[in-house]
Structure 1
């Protein structure tokens, strides 16, 4: 009979530990992706010396890059106010958002002209991610790193919208906007929390 009691105690401990273990595993995966981005960034910068002898004319003849593939690593986003550092991948699928912020396909490229949109979870199941996005304030800074460089954005708008309100994704000519999207409220979400920032 004692072994049943021990078994029940062990099962209880495992059940209570599961959410923390899952969150720790997800945080570990996020950190691995950020490390992968840092390594890729070093590789990109080392190419500067390799290609330094290329003429400007040859560079201008280069064909346009194909759009990134779904799930490909684009860079990272850092938000000092809410202590966020997340990898950014192409596509906002459920799979991609488990460990990263997802760039919405069809929106502007990160750092480029137009409105670039990123979505991330706000659920404790997936670790930190955008859990604290509601703490953002106007004029807060958001940093984005990509293969094209490092970009700083300043928050100018924080709103809550209906899930089907796509007006926040409108491309604004002549402006470089970053739109962050997550669910609102955190539990049983009915709306979307939107933070928008302009490139500095």
Structure 2
């Protein structure tokens, strides 16, 4: 009758473990639903931000840098520097038409600067040489990009350049295992049909 004893033992263990297994399963489902919800929310924000950027880039003439610094001072979240092209540009939260008149814009829905994920920063290509992202195509793989916030300096190394359609949101996809910086501007400068992309990965982080 050993088999009966084994059956009773298995039945007893199943009875004891079932509530725990059920709890673990539902907890897992909870986490999955929350992850899906957060991902869907981020995707929605990215789509809205990308559409807004498309509207800004397809203007007949990019706005010139005639904004008043004192009016937007409180909205600045950092500054971007690329020594290769002698560029220093303030960064504001949101890639709106107003913000991109005077600065680069951190796109809503993308990761915070310096954190794991994909932080996207957009700017115009000014008709004035050396202004905004006018010289961005000169940046090559291996060049360094620095982003300074009020607390830290993040140094990124350029890994690739791309030319994509405005509808291609794959360049904004996030990765949880590394910190990526994506710079975005229009191409060509007049009557743009594409977006010029520069991607870089975080190399160093310094506390101020």
TM-score, structure 2 normalization? 0.62
Are 1:83 and 2:86 an aligned pair? yes
Q: Which runs of 5+ in 2 are unaligned?
A: 1-62, 204-208
Are 1:181 and 2:181 an aligned pair? no
Are 1:167 and 2:170 an aligned pair? yes
Alignment check: 8 A CA contact 2:94 2:105 kept: yes
Alignment check: 8 A CA contact 1:99 1:126 kept: no
Q: 1:74 to 1:136 in 2, by over 3 A?
A: same
Cα deviation, residue 28, structure 1: 8.1
Alignment: residue pair count: 141
CA RMSD of aligned residues (A): 2.5
Alignment check: 8 A CA contact 1:79 1:143 kept: yes
Cα deviation, residue 186, structure 1: 1.1
Alignment check: 8 A CA contact 1:82 1:132 kept: yes
Alignment check: 8 A CA contact 1:87 1:100 kept: yes
Q: Counterparts of 1:89 and 1:126 in 2: how far apart (Å)? A: 22
Structure ID, larger Rg? 2
1:156 to 145, 155, 159: 159
Secondary structure of the equivalent of 1:177?
strand
Q: 1:186 to 1:161 in 2, by over 3 A?
A: same
Q: Counterparts of 1:123 and 1:28 in 2: how far apart (Å)? A: 14
**Counterpart position of 1:191:** 194
Cα deviation, residue 123, structure 1: 2.7
Q: Counterparts of 2:185 and 2:79 in 1: how far apart (Å)? A: 17
Alignment check: 8 A CA contact 1:98 1:126 kept: no
Q: Which runs of 5+ in 1 are unaligned?
A: 1-21, 37-70
TM-score, structure 1 normalization? 0.65
